[in-house]
Amino acid sequence: MDRILPDVLSVPIARAIEKVYAYGPMADKTVILVPAFVTSHVEGLAEAIGFDVETLSYTLGMFLCYPLGMIMASLPYGKIRHLFSFLLGAFLLQFTLGKQWIHQLIAVVISYIFMLILPPKITKTVVPTFIMLYVTLGHLHRQFVNYLGWDLDFTGSHMVLAMKLYSLAYNLYDGDLIRLGKETRATQKCAHLAVTGVPGIIEFLGYTFNFSTILAGPAFEYKIYADACEGKNLFDDNGKPKGKIPSQVMPTLKPFLLSLICLVAFVVGNAKFPLLDPTDPQNFTPVIITEEFWKKPWVNRYAYSWVALFFIRMKYYFAWKNAEGASNIWYAGFEGFDKEGKPKGWENSNNVDIIDFETAPNVKTLSAAWNKKTANWLGRYVYMRTGGSLVATYGLSAFWHGFYPGYYMFFLSVPLVTMCERLGRKKLSPRFSPNKWSLYGICTIVATSLIVEYIVIAFQLLAFDWAVEAWKSHYFFGHILCILFYGIVSQLPTPKTKGA
């Protein structure tokens, strides 16, 4: 970004970064959990198979969560599990990020001090503000020193941490309101997640560094994590099972195998249909906006973009499904039992419904199936706490993602699609079959896919000029069709509902 910003801004920013980097040697000394021979072996393996060290370390770290999960499941309930969760989570961060792991520790310790010394009413503002500021600085630093780069750094794990700390601050606030008998409407809805006191330091570290979620999420709530560590999702206070405890084999094996399929699909598909230039994705013109690519018929260009984006999603599917299985091994994904003693399910660790997302008939369904725990976080602790403010919710989501123009081009386009979707449900849907796989339903699935794949190109390309060129190559059809749809359909009479 220093090549974009004027010197009056870039020079002082560069100097400030250099001062922070001066503490690098001190941070190096904190990487004590990963033996040197492990690092050298990974570097040798990466060179042998043609992978970069960061990608290989991250992938190995994800798979390492499975044997760690097996060990976690065999440990006694209580502090030993929390301690194991913390130490192995710290190990994974040091293994994948090296000295950058220290950012996680700094943010966690400062947040914990805030929670200890401040009343919950203040904590629920101070902690979210602090952690979002930390995430913001991380994103800005990344964009300044590595603009348009996709190198692995601490911002990914910090985004997961932000959701955990933000949520816990409100959990403590809700617990305090319940204790005082001053529940708000939002507190009542989140009462089952309320926490009555600041967790002990071991429990807190175990939650914030939890090994099975630290690299890719999902950021489930503190109470869910604590119940799994203490066995409360399986046993009552007398140590008796709350119901017939289901086997975790299939809930572990299914997402694990699916993650393998998605990983292979990403590696093969992304190589076959790259969106960015494979030789230098950071600096060279993306494949989909080169002069040579423009010479192809529009249908071919759009089909290529659609397929390329499909394979890019496989990267996220791999990470989330892999983490889901790793969490299910030790029953962190298990929702517990209902009043009749029947298992509720394994939704606690499920962060994406792949089939529902890929066949979504509208943006609402699509959003509900994608990055589900982030949607829960925004819904519970932003949307409900701001009186249903979409501006606050989308604004925080955008800040949480970062500051590339492509993100905001995408987020600002979503409301236009949403407006059309709501109008269609009001004016058109009542006239047709509600069956998802009816002719009308299939048309909505195709339309949603075509429009969303068009606007999400900006999110992936990041840069403003690249995103505009990509939309231009498709003649801005997504925006134009939405405007035409709204203008035409809004003139149709609203069908009368039955009984009206």
Position 177 scores a pLDDT of 94
Q: Is the pLDDT of residue 499 over 80?
A: no
Task: Find out whether 164 and 381 touch, Cβ atoms under 8 Å.
Answer: no
Q: Is the pLDDT of residue 335 over 70?
A: yes
Instruction: Average the pLDDT over 270-290 and give the result.
Output: 92
Q: Is the pLDDT of residue 5 over 70?
A: no
pLDDT band, residue 283 (cuts 50/70/90): confident
Q: What would the two tokens of residue 188 be?
A: 């009542």
pLDDT band, residue 359 (cuts 50/70/90): very high
Mean of all residue pLDDT scores within the chain: 92
Task: Find out whether 440 and 254 touch, Cβ atoms under 8 Å.
Answer: no
pLDDT band, residue 145 (cuts 50/70/90): confident
Instruction: Average the pLDDT over 19-35 and give the result.
Output: 88
pTM of the model: 0.93
Q: Is the pLDDT of residue 2 over 60?
A: no
pLDDT band, residue 392 (cuts 50/70/90): confident
Q: Is the pLDDT of residue 7 over 90?
A: no
pLDDT (tens digit, 9 = 90+) per residue, 471-493?
A: 999 999 999 999 999 999 999 99
Task: Return the SS3 of 281.
Answer: coil
pLDDT band, residue 3 (cuts 50/70/90): low
Q: Rounded to the nearest 5 degrees, what angle is found at the Cα of 183, between the Cα atoms of 178 and 185?
A: 140
Q: Rounded to the nearest 5 degrees, what angle is found at the Cα of 393, between the Cα atoms of 199 and 410?
A: 125
Please give the sequence-ordered ranges of beta strands (E in DSSP) within 28-91, or none if there are none. Answer: none
Residues 88, 101: Cα–Cα separation, whole Å: 13
pLDDT band, residue 1 (cuts 50/70/90): low
Task: Find out whether 196 and 180 touch, Cβ atoms under 8 Å.
Answer: no
pLDDT (tens digit, 9 = 90+) per residue, 286-313?
A: 999 999 999 999 999 999 999 999 999 9
pLDDT band, residue 456 (cuts 50/70/90): very high
Task: Find out whether 382 and 470 touch, Cβ atoms under 8 Å.
Answer: no
Q: Is the pLDDT of residue 498 over 70?
A: no
pLDDT (tens digit, 9 = 90+) per residue, 200-232?
A: 999 999 999 999 999 988 898 999 999 999 999
Eight-state DSSP code of residue 491: T
Instruction: Average the pLDDT over 62-84 and give the result.
Output: 96
Task: Return the SS3 of 337.
Answer: strand
Task: Find out whether 217 and 333 touch, Cβ atoms under 8 Å.
Answer: no
